[in-house]
Amino acid sequence: MKVVRVLGIDPGNYRTGYALLDINGSRYNLIHSGTVSAKKKPENLKKIYDELKKIIEEYKPTELALESSFYGKNPQVLIKLGEIRGVILLLSAIYKLEIYEYTPQKVKNAITGYGWAGKEDVFSMVNKLFNIIPEYQDEADAIAVAFCHFLNR
C-alpha cells in the first residue's frame, strides 16, 4: 500500500498552523507540525509563502487538507484570511498538490466527535491522539485538519 503524505493547514491572521501526516491505509503518523508566525505587515504573505514552500520542498506532501473559510462579522479579517488562503492555493498549484477542504465543523467532528466543540477540546484530543502538546492552538488545528483528511480518505 502506498503511503500518502498530507499537509494539513489552518490559515490564520497571525499564525498559520501546519501539520504533515503520513497515511498508510488505516494507519497514520504525524511527521512534523508547527506554525508560521506573521505580523500584520504586508511582508506576512511572503513569509507564509516562503516558510510553507520550504516545508513542501523538504517533506514533499502530495495532498493538501485545508480548513475552509467561514463566515464572520469582521470583513477585514475575512479579507486577510482570503489573502493567506490565496498564497496556500498558489503553492498547491505550483507543487501540484491535490486540495481537499473541510469546514471547521467537519474538522471538529472528526477530532472530537462533536462539530461545535471548543478550541480547548480540539487541543485536548490532539494531545491524546498524537501524544503532543502543540505550542499554539493553530498547530493543534492544523493537526486536526490533517486527521480529518485521514478519516475522510
Active site members = 10, 67, 138
C-alpha cell at 143: 493537526
Q: Where are the beta strands (DSSP E) in the chain?
A: 4-10, 15-24, 27-37, 63-67, 98-102
d(CA 23, CA 4): 5
End-to-end alpha-carbon separation of the chain, Å?
Answer: 14
C-alpha cell at 31: 511527521
Beta bridge partners of residue 132, listed in sequence order: none
C-alpha cell at 129: 491522539
Q: Do 145 and 104 meet the contact criterion of CB atoms below 8 Å apart? A: no
Could you give the C-alpha distances from 63 to 59, 89, 118, 122, in angstroms and in order?
12, 12, 27, 22
